[in-house]
């Protein structure tokens, strides 16, 4: 069912009168962790990457030709063109996961 507003736009409603909701976001996939350098290959292409630096100094990660620095205690989540390989360069503990 839909109702037209004063500007001529239509708003869709469910049969019970509620407004349909579309959830937009990313799904966390294939978590991994460590405290040393690691090249991680995901089993399917990811569209984003999140990493939590649990250490007391910075770490870096590289996707494609771009390298990003994650400060001590920082959590970073970024979206990318699809990729399957990420390289984490570190001597501190971290937790990471891909985003789809």
* Domains within the chain, CATH numbers bracketed: 26-99 (2.60.120)
Nearest in space to 77 (alpha carbons), one of 50, 45, 47: 50
User: If you average pLDDT over residues 61-90, what whole number do you get?
Assistant: 97
Rounded Cα distance between 32 and 96, Å, is 5
pLDDT for 5 equals 63
With beta carbons less than 8 A apart as the criterion, state whether 4 and 13 touch.
no
User: If you average pLDDT over residues 57-82, what whole number do you get?
Assistant: 97
Nearest in space to 90 (alpha carbons), one of 41, 45, 43, 56: 56
pLDDT digits (tens, 9 = 90+) for 6-62: 677 666 777 777 777 666 678 999 999 999 999 999 999 999 999 999 999 999 999
With beta carbons less than 8 A apart as the criterion, state whether 79 and 47 touch.
yes
User: If you average pLDDT over residues 64-90, what whole number do you get?
Assistant: 97
**pTM, 2 dp:** 0.76
Residues 6+ apart with CB under 8 A from 83: 42, 45, 46, 49, 63, 64
- State the DSSP string of 10-43: EEE--TTSPPP-------EEEEEEESS-EEEEEE
Q: With 80 as the cut, is the pLDDT of residue 83 above it? A: yes
pLDDT for 98 equals 97
């Amino acid at each position: 069912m839909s109702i037209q507003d004063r500007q001529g736009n239509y708003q869709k409603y469910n049969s019970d009168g509620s407004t349909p909701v579309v959830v937009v976001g990313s799904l966390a996939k294939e978590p991994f962790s460590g405290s040393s350098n690691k090249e991680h290959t995901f089993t399917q292409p990811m569209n984003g990457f999140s990493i939590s630096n649990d250490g007391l100094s910075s770490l870096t990660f590289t996707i494609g030709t771009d390298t990003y620095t994650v400060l001590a205690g920082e959590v970073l989540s970024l979206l990318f063109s699809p990729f399957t390989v990420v390289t984490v360069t570190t001597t501190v503990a971290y937790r990471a996961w891909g985003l789809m």
